[in-house]
């Protein structure tokens, strides 16, 4: 069972879309996958279901608070049988505050996932909030790999520099010395923009080994699929973004399963 955190401290990086789309394509490719929404904004939950039907007692907050078991909170996506998910609610913000005061607050997700058997899931994908708070710490502590999405923008690039040079080393030193970087993926790409080309060249110069060849294009079908509570591979499987995320998933599987 491979646990992957999808994280970037900058908001608007395409993190949730990437987490949901990659998890969905993994499941479509016959890999039993569990997606965990670790963000109080509950955006990945909204991408898979109507968030108004989710109750706090069947959410990730209840699991971390030891108020529910894994079987109580795991839900199956109605469109993709091999895709399960653990939803989040706004109450996760309160859980985040509570866990911040506990010495064991950052390791609870890892402890809960240890209840799973190795054959229950091929992949677990954690969608992290855009900060390095206790929810991200929980996800990283439970993970073996980190996937970093980013937009080809100036602020995003400098944010990535800080993330890679400061936060990632601290994660390895203080949170989980055994996790490693799976890679960096460019999202919301407009290939004709000069800035996009410049950022790509700089990423190639500094992080060539980590940069995925696949780039995710700007596509209106992505927000439309979120509004419909459907993964992009179901909502618009032939769209350019769905095809790009399938190619990215193939790259991810190749990096992991060929080793």
CA end-to-end span of the chain = 14
Indicate the number of domains in the chain.
1
CA 10 to chain CA mean position, Å: 13
Looking at residue 259, its pLDDT comes to 66
The residues, ordered by sequence, that sit 6+ positions from 179 with a Cβ below 8 Å of its Cβ are: 5, 140, 143, 144, 145, 146, 171, 172
If you compute the radius of gyration of the chain from its CA atoms, what whole number of angstroms results? 17
Looking at residue 100, its pLDDT comes to 67
Looking at residue 241, its pLDDT comes to 96
Structure tokens at 102: 């506990």
**CATH number of the domain where residue 242 is located:** 3.40.50.300
Looking at residue 158, its pLDDT comes to 86
Looking at residue 55, its pLDDT comes to 84
Decide: 184 and 148 in contact? Cβ < 8 Å.
yes
Question: Can you give the residue range of the structural domain that contains 230?
Answer: 2-257
In order along its 259 residues, the chain shows pLDDT tens digits of: 999 999 988 777 899 999 999 999 999 999 999 999 999 999 999 999 988 888 888 899 999 988 999 999 999 999 999 999 999 988 888 877 777 666 667 788 999 998 887 779 999 999 999 888 889 999 999 999 999 999 988 888 888 888 888 888 888 888 888 889 999 999 999 888 888 888 899 898 989 999 999 999 999 999 999 999 999 999 999 999 999 999 999 999 999 988 6
Structure tokens at 40: 């109080």
Looking at residue 117, its pLDDT comes to 77
Looking at residue 251, its pLDDT comes to 97
């Amino acid at each position: 069972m491979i646990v992957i955190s999808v994280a970037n401290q900058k908001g608007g990086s395409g993190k949730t879309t990437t987490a949901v789309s990659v998890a969905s394509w993994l499941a479509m490719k016959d890999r039993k996958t569990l997606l965990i929404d670790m963000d109080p904004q509950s955006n990945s939950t909204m991408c898979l279901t109507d968030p108004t039907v989710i109750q706090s007692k069947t959410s990730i907050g209840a699991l971390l608070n030891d108020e529910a078991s894994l079987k109580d909170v795991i839900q199956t996506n109605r469109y993709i049988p091999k895709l399960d998910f653990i939803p989040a609610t706004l109450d996760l913000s309160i859980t985040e505050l509570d866990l911040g005061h506990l010495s064991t607050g950052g390791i609870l997700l890892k402890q809960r996932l240890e209840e799973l058997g190795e054959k229950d899931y091929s992949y677990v994908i954690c969608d992290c909030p855009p900060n390095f708070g206790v929810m991200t710490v929980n996800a990283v502590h439970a993970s073996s790999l980190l996937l970093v999405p980013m937009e080809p923008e100036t602020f995003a690039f400098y944010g990535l520099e800080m993330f890679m040079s400061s936060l990632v080393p601290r994660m390895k030193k203080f949170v989980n010395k055994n996790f490693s970087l799976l890679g960096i993926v460019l999202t919301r790409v407009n290939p004709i923009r000069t800035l996009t080309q410049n950022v790509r060249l700089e990423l190639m110069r500094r992080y060539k080994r980590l940069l995925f060849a696949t780039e995710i294009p700007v596509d209106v079908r992505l927000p439309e699929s979120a509004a419909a509570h459907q993964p992009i591979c179901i909502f618009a499987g032939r769209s350019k973004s769905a095809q790009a995320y399938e190619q990215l998933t193939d790259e991810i599987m190749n990096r992991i399963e060929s080793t």
